[in-house]
């Protein structure tokens, strides 16, 4: 069987999307320190590329889910990189998404990876 006849494998597309997402996030961070003259053009190019990724994912029936800032619960489609840092009954939020979750409708294609943090109590 040659590569043209290879079956479509959503998990490979999911891996590619996650890698692109991480590259885009790192590029966004780097652009925040670039000189203003080059920065605007590069930021626009990055925004365009991210929109293109969203369009391609939609055409494939996939979406990337970034849970940053959401309240964490065991049913969230993520694996936690720092689970031992907190008590089991402690209220937590997703402090940072390391890798987004890749979904197809309501089916998880690839679990995301996150770091959780305690819920900040508002001062009275």
| Cβ count near 22 (within 10 Å) | 14
Domain count, the chain: 1
pLDDT (mean) for 79-96: 91
Indicate whether 124 pLDDT > 50: no
Whole-number Cα distances in Å, 10 to 44, 97, 122: 29, 21, 42
Instruction: Report d(CA 62, CA 20) in Å as an integer.
Output: 14
Let me know if residue 124 belongs to a domain: no
pTM: 0.76
Domain that holds residue 61: 3-118
């Amino acid at each position: 069987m040659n590569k043209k006849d290879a079956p479509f494998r959503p998990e490979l597309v999911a891996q590619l999307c996650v890698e692109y997402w991480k590259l885009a996030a790192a590029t966004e961070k780097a652009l925040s320190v670039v000189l203003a003259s080059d920065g605007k053009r590069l930021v626009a190019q990055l925004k365009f590329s991210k929109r293109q990724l969203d369009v391609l994912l939609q055409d494939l029936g996939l979406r990337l889910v970034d849970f940053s800032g959401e309240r964490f619960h065991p049913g969230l489609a993520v694996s936690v990189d720092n689970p031992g840092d907190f008590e089991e009954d402690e209220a937590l939020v997703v402090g940072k998404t390391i890798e987004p979750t890749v979904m197809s409708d309501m089916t998880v294609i690839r679990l995301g990876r996150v770091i959780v943090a305690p819920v900040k109590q508002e001062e009275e």
